[in-house]
Structure 1
Amino acid sequence: MDADVLVVGAGLAGLRCARVLHDAGHEVVVLEAADAVGGRIRTDRVDGFLVDRGFQLLNPAYPAVRRWVDVDALGLQGFGAGVAAVTESGTAVLGHPMRAPGLLPGTARTALAHPREVAAVLRWAAPLLRPRGRTRLSEVLAGRADVGRAEALDRAGLDGLLRRVVDRFLAGVLLEDDGSTADRFALLLAWMFARGVPSLPVDGMQALPEQLAAPLGDRVRIGHRVEGVTGATVTAADRTWTARQVVVATDGPRARELAGIEVPATKGVVTTWWSATDAPSSDLLHVDARRDPRGPLVNAAVVSRAAPSYAPPGRHLMQGSALLGPGRVTDEAVVRRHAGDLLGVDPTRWEVVARHEVPDALPAQPAPYSATRPVRVGELVVCGDHRDTGSIQGALVSGQRAAEAVLAALR
């Protein structure tokens, strides 16, 4: 027997699971097919730039992050607490009134010009505004109609500019623009955005899984692709491993292959990164809030304004992200024009740094909404954000749940 527990996959869920089991005194081996830890969270270094594989942000307000991550050690660099929405008449800036006081005048002008829409936003977000005492937000949301976010916004009477801002901001977060995500999950994410400023670590997003992996040392074996899992036996390309318990900690499609389980559909994104010698001074996320968007991007940003470590001295780094799917346009020239349009600059002299297509970036979270799925599947334990919520929070929590299931079995 090679270990007490074999964990297949060194993403956030697998690393959290392995760490809990290791701290409990069990011998754990993590097998990872890639050449580094992180799963879908990876950072490439290209000519002095840091480019994450897909535009990702870390929200330090996530409870699992606050509890299990040394946030200070990551050296987080925060984006502005707001959004710049491009409209037919210019760019409207909306910011958090407490976290972005400098954006308050622009936010107030937009709100005063659309009072009916503001009231509708407040109706939609009412569960986030009510005093809860010791009642958890998830319990408050349990009484909410279990519908998709588009239907929930319709019920609240939200339309016009603010509807487009909410829709297009969430499209970049949820990786869908049809409003199919469960409203309860969308509200949970909105609550997290209100409580924390999405940020980037000074060494790139991969610094997060690397921090989780560090205490495990050589128990994490990279470059070991698993070809099959049967009971307590794992077949890799070079050898067969055995253990008292096996945890499949991969993304949804791979978990389906290895464990034969049902998993949610996945949503994809393509992110293009450009460099330039000059860039707008904005550290906000930019979205297209026009009635007829002029391109495929769900968002664009000057990443180096928020996270200077992502670009070498004298250069700036921009990103534009578009959804993947049948019939969607992701041609570089098209997304470049749209990114320049959203940022208000001429992009013709931008240079492509990298382009990442991530077809299985997030699991779908449609209504009816289920925050958790079983981690125990027959003889196996399975974890990943497809077992919980499609987020960093969900990945970490699923890893914790998987470890607890393993500990119960080993006892």
Structure 2
Amino acid sequence: MKIGIIGAGLSGLTCGWYLKKNSIDDIIIFESSEKAGGKIKTDRIDGFQLDRGFQVLLPAYPETKKVLDYDKLQLQRFHKGSLIYKNNKKIPFYDPENGFKALLKTVVNGPGSLIDKLILLKLKWMLGRLSVEKIFNSKKTISSLEYLRELGFSERIIEDFWIPFYQGVFLENTLETDSRMLQFTFKMFAEDGAAVPKEGMDAIPRQLVDYIGADKIRFNTKVLHYDNKSITTSDGKTESFDKVVLACNISKNGNYHTVTNNYFETEKLPIDTKHVILNANPNRVINNVVMISNVAPNYSRNGKHLISVSANGIHLEVDDFLTDLKSIFGLEVANWKLVKSYIISEALPVINFEKKYKPLSPEGVFCCGDHLLQGSINGAMESGRRTAEEIIKGV
């Protein structure tokens, strides 16, 4: 059986991975760019390792655990919890797993009241008992912000922690995202934190390519037309297939959230931490700051420190970032040097959870991608797996 897959993003690669694992290895993957990975790509510039947009792997993801070899990825882990900056104050919000001192700092100086922290522990316990399937099969449809208020969290902790943190996860500022995504991601963060591979986020797709075989991927090849039995590329060639998989949003249907990610180099870190730093200042531009070379030393191999700074939307002026950064770290920010700026226009799809995902379209073309299921690495890989399983069923 010959399979043609359009798109070498995570969903297409995962589909190919499962097909090969089930002895279907007559596969051709068509990729319009020079690299596999879709939205997950890493550039190497002047001794720095720059992921295109601040991204992390949540090792608790059920789909990545099925496919990826974490030992080979050599995961570099963030410290659990966050460090919040608001009105010239540092507010610690650490996970109790970081030790008694961390727990004490959070209880005494952390955001919100003691009741807020008890509600948080209850939420962590409750989600720990729920399976991922139960979370997404829930019929309750409310926004994440409504969900947090329904749980009883105070406006103070919502404003100081939940909104700044989830602005960086959902890439939208009002937490309109379906509450099921908050439940799922918070469960994943609580279970096993966040990490990046030692050699950059693109080590994830590279590991999949190594298994499938780079010879199965045609890079820099644009698809002009496809149907359920053939694919036509920009060089005018048409190839026949038994099954065709569309593993990208080729028609650009749907809405996406946009994010701007700037990388800065500096001789001296403003703070020595492996936590994600949240900006809770009123009228803020940036969401979060990460001392990424502190978390993963390989992200800088030239003796300088590398800092990742992200803001939702499009920000063409670096000064917008620097003004905000000065309100957090002071005048030393003037010594930071911009390494690279990324504007990711289709960073995260806006998902309608009421629309049921079907791997096979009415036209007979198989479809997968995070835009069809859930906007995450887990969603991309789950849709790739489910599509492969549909194909395997028909063999």
Counterparts in 2 of 1:89 and 1:296: CA distance versus 1, 3 Å: closer
Matched-pair contact (CA < 8 Å) for 1:268–1:362: yes
- 2:388 partner SS: helix
Identity of aligned residues (%): 26
Q: Would you say 1:277 and 2:267 are equivalent positions?
A: yes
CA offset at residue 142 of structure 1? 4.7
Aligned residue for 1:231? 228
Aligned residue for 1:155? 150
Aligned residue for 1:321? 310
User: What is the alpha-carbon distance in structure 1 between the residues aligned to residue 374 and residue 393 of structure 2?
Assistant: 23
Aligned residue for 2:21? 23
Deviations 1:24-69 (A, max 9, x none): 2221111111101111100000100000100000111111111110
User: What is the alpha-carbon distance in structure 2 between the residues aligned to residue 197 and residue 345 of structure 1?
Assistant: 32
- Pick from 327, 331, 334: which aligns with 2:317? 331
Matched-pair contact (CA < 8 Å) for 2:107–2:114: no
- Pick from 367, 371, 375: which aligns with 2:359? 375
Q: Would you say 1:95 and 2:94 are equivalent positions?
A: yes
CA offset at residue 76 of structure 1? 0.9
CA offset at residue 148 of structure 1? 0.5
Aligned residue for 2:341? 355
Counterparts in 2 of 1:100 and 1:64: CA distance versus 1, 3 Å: farther
Aligned residue for 2:219? 222
User: What is the alpha-carbon distance in structure 2 between the residues aligned to residue 99 and residue 83 of structure 1?
Assistant: 12
Q: Would you say 1:286 and 2:277 are equivalent positions?
A: yes
User: What is the alpha-carbon distance in structure 2 between the residues aligned to residue 113 and residue 173 of structure 1?
Assistant: 21
Matched-pair contact (CA < 8 Å) for 2:135–2:180: no
CA offset at residue 137 of structure 1? 4.5
Aligned residue for 2:8? 10
Matched-pair contact (CA < 8 Å) for 1:124–1:152: no
Q: Would you say 1:146 and 2:137 are equivalent positions?
A: no
User: What is the alpha-carbon distance in structure 1 between the residues aligned to residue 39 and residue 110 of structure 2?
Assistant: 38
Counterparts in 2 of 1:140 and 1:249: CA distance versus 1, 3 Å: closer
Matched-pair contact (CA < 8 Å) for 2:88–2:327: no
Q: Which letter maps to 2:51?
A: D
Q: Would you say 1:390 and 2:375 are equivalent positions?
A: yes
CA offset at residue 119 of structure 1? 4.4
Matched-pair contact (CA < 8 Å) for 2:119–2:153: yes
Where does 1:43-54 land on structure 2 (aligned, <5 Å)?
43-54=42-53
User: What is the alpha-carbon distance in structure 2 between the residues aligned to residue 243 and residue 395 of structure 1?
Assistant: 23
- 1:29 partner SS: strand
- 2:242 partner SS: strand
User: What is the alpha-carbon distance in structure 1 between the residues aligned to residue 211 and residue 140 of structure 2?
Assistant: 43
User: What is the alpha-carbon distance in structure 2 between the residues aligned to residue 57 and residue 113 of structure 1?
Assistant: 27
Counterparts in 2 of 1:61 and 1:191: CA distance versus 1, 3 Å: same
Q: Which letter maps to 2:387?
A: A
Counterparts in 2 of 1:219 and 1:349: CA distance versus 1, 3 Å: same
Q: Would you say 1:244 and 2:234 are equivalent positions?
A: no
Matched-pair contact (CA < 8 Å) for 2:227–2:244: no
Matched-pair contact (CA < 8 Å) for 1:127–1:140: no
Structure 1-normalised TM-score?
0.88
User: What is the alpha-carbon distance in structure 1 between the residues aligned to residue 182 and residue 301 of structure 2?
Assistant: 36
CA offset at residue 87 of structure 1? 1.9
Matched-pair contact (CA < 8 Å) for 2:359–2:387: yes
**What is the root-mean-square deviation in Å for CA atoms of aligned residues?**
2.2
User: What is the alpha-carbon distance in structure 2 between the residues aligned to residue 392 and residue 148 of structure 1?
Assistant: 21
Matched-pair contact (CA < 8 Å) for 1:172–1:298: yes
Unaligned runs of 5+ in 1: 258-262
Give the count of matched residue pairs: 389
Matched-pair contact (CA < 8 Å) for 2:124–2:190: no
CA offset at residue 337 of structure 1? 2.8
Counterparts in 2 of 1:140 and 1:19: CA distance versus 1, 3 Å: closer
